[in-house]
Amino acid sequence: MAENNSGGGGGGGGEVEANQTIYINNLNEKIKLDELKKSLLAVFSQFGKIVEVLAFKTLKHKGQAWLVFEDVSSATKALHQMQGFPFYDKPMRIQYAKTKSDVIAKADGTFVPRERRKRHEEKGKKRKEQHDASQAGMPIPAYAGTYGSAPPLSQIPYPGGVKLPEAPAPPNNILFVQNLPQETTPMMLQMLFCQYAGFKEVRMVEAKPGIAFVEYGDEMQSTVAMQELQSFKLTPQSSMLITYAKK
DNA sequence: AGCACA
């Protein structure tokens, strides 16, 4: 049952052979790497086990990510099903990665460390000696298991229109806390937030249960508190969402 | 646009 992509109509060129790793570009470059990777993981783990998510912020690699699946079939499903998927307001462009990921090669035993990777190498050189990789030092037993089977995020809606937390608000010394359980009191929040330097006060809005504002002396301080307490669970079933308050 | 493995 080998599936043939029968060319079909048009499309660009540059098709690459199937790979366990998909290469995604046209990603929103404003999203912080950590969040981006978590969101990718959350959105893509429906297609199968993900071994690794890689993304870099260097100029040459912004807006791109590599997603390593355990199986090629998962990668293929993901590639087709998520092609063009709106992600942080931009349609994802997905291809197979051009080369095998290191984590896979390591599990294969075909990993060969790229020693000849200097900054600027002679660019006339062709490297054709990729014929064999029988031994690459010691064989590595299995995947390092970068991610367990359970993705940390479980608040991702579904394909068709994503609304991921998009960090729209610029830094602010006041934090906006959402998704608090009904029984939250200002005192509870104060105990949590006063641990961090610059804490000033907690304000809850009685008309709207579930939210609070927490003020710090400056943006640096509020940022630290936000990072430390992001997704903190006051109860097992609800984790708080912290963003900067709008100005 | 841009295919890496910090």
Q: Is A44 exposed, middle or buried (0-12, 13-18, 19+ CB in 10 A)?
A: buried
Q: Is A133 inside any structural domain?
A: no
Q: Is A82 inside any structural domain?
A: yes
The model's pLDDT over A29-78, given as tens digits with 9 standing for 90+, comes to 999 999 999 899 988 988 999 999 999 999 999 999 999 999 999 999 99
Q: Is A156 inside any structural domain?
A: no
Residue A215 to residue A203: CA distance in whole angstroms? 8
- Is residue A190's pLDDT more than 90? yes
Which positions in strand B are less than 7 Å from the protein's CB atoms? Answer: 1-6
Last residue of a domain, one of A104, A134, A158: A104
Residue A182 to residue A170: CA distance in whole angstroms? 28
Q: Region A154-181: what's the mean pLDDT?
A: 66
Q: Is A195 inside any structural domain?
A: yes
Closest-approach nucleotide to residue A22, Cα vs C1'? B3
In whole angstroms, B2 C1' to A181 CA is 44
Closest-approach nucleotide to residue A98, Cα vs C1'? B3
Q: Is A68 inside any structural domain?
A: yes
Last residue of a domain, one of A49, A69, A104: A104
Q: Is A139 inside any structural domain?
A: no
Where in the sequence is the domain holding A49, given as residue range(s)?
A: 21-104
pLDDT of residue A31: 93
Closest-approach nucleotide to residue A95, Cα vs C1'? B3
- Is residue A213's pLDDT more than 90? yes
Please state, rounded to an integer, the average pLDDT across all residues of chain A.
78
Give the CA diameter of chain A.
Answer: 70
Cβ within 7 Å of nucleic strand B, residues:
A 16, 21, 23, 25-27, 29, 33, 54, 56-64, 66, 68, 95-103, 117
CATH number at residue A32: 3.30.70.330
Residue A242 banded pLDDT, cuts 50, 70, 90 = very high
Q: Is A29 inside any structural domain?
A: yes
Closest-approach nucleotide to residue A99, Cα vs C1'? B3
pLDDT of residue A57: 94
Q: Region A88-114: what's the mean pLDDT?
A: 94
Last residue of a domain, one of A48, A69, A104: A104
Question: What is the pTM (predicted TM-score) of this model?
Answer: 0.50
Q: Region A233-245: what's the mean pLDDT?
A: 89
- Is residue A18's pLDDT more than 60? yes
Residue A37 to residue A52: CA distance in whole angstroms? 9
E-only strand ranges, A59-197: 65-69, 86-87, 90-91, 93-96, 174-178
Domain count along chain A: 2
In whole angstroms, B6 C1' to A103 CA is 15
Q: Is A146 inside any structural domain?
A: no
- Is residue A95's pLDDT more than 50? yes
Which of A31, A80, A29, A75 is CA-nearest to residue A52?
A: A75
pLDDT of residue A158: 41
